[in-house]
A and B are shown apart, each in its own frame.
Chain A
Amino acid sequence: QKEVEQNSGPLSVPEGAIASLNCTYSDRGSQSFFWYRQYSGKSPELIMFIYSNGDKEDGRFTAQLNKASQYVSLLIRDSQPSDSATYLCAVKNNTDKLIFGTGTRLQVFP
Chain B
Amino acid sequence: DVKVTQSSRYLVKRTGEKVFLECVQDMDHENMFWYRQDPGLGLRLIYFSYDVKMKEKGDIPEGYSVSREKKERFSLILESASTNQTSMYLCASHHGAANSPLHFGNGTRLTVT
Contact = CB atoms under 8 A, between A and B. Distances in A.
A106 to B, nearest CB: 16
Contact of B102 (A8, A34, A101): A34
**What's the interface size class on A, roughly?**
20 to 34
A100 B102 CA distance: 11
Interface string A92-105: 10001110111100
A43 B98 contact: no
A100 B41 CA distance: 10
A51 B98 CA distance: 9
A102 B57 CA distance: 21
A88 B102 contact: no
Nearest to B4: A43
Interface string B22-39: 000000000101010000
B101 A88 contact: no
Contacts of A66: none
Contact of A96 (B35, B50, B103): B50
A98 B92 CA distance: 11
Given A51-B98, A97-B48, A43 B104 contact: yes
A49 interface: yes
Of listed B41, B94, B96, B99, residue having the most chain A CB within 10 A: B99
A45 B104 contact: yes
Contacts of B42: 88, 100-103
A90 interface: yes
A89 to B, nearest CB: 10
Nearest to B94: A96
26 contacts: A31-B98, A32-B99, A34-B102, A42-B106, A43-B106, A43-B107, A44-B90, A44-B104, A45-B104, A46-B101, A49-B99, A51-B98, A88-B43, A92-B98, A96-B31, A96-B48, A96-B50, A96-B94, A97-B33, A97-B48, A97-B58, A100-B35, A100-B43, A101-B42, A102-B41, A102-B42
Interface of B: 31, 33, 35, 40-43, 45, 48, 50, 58, 90, 94, 96, 98-99, 101-107
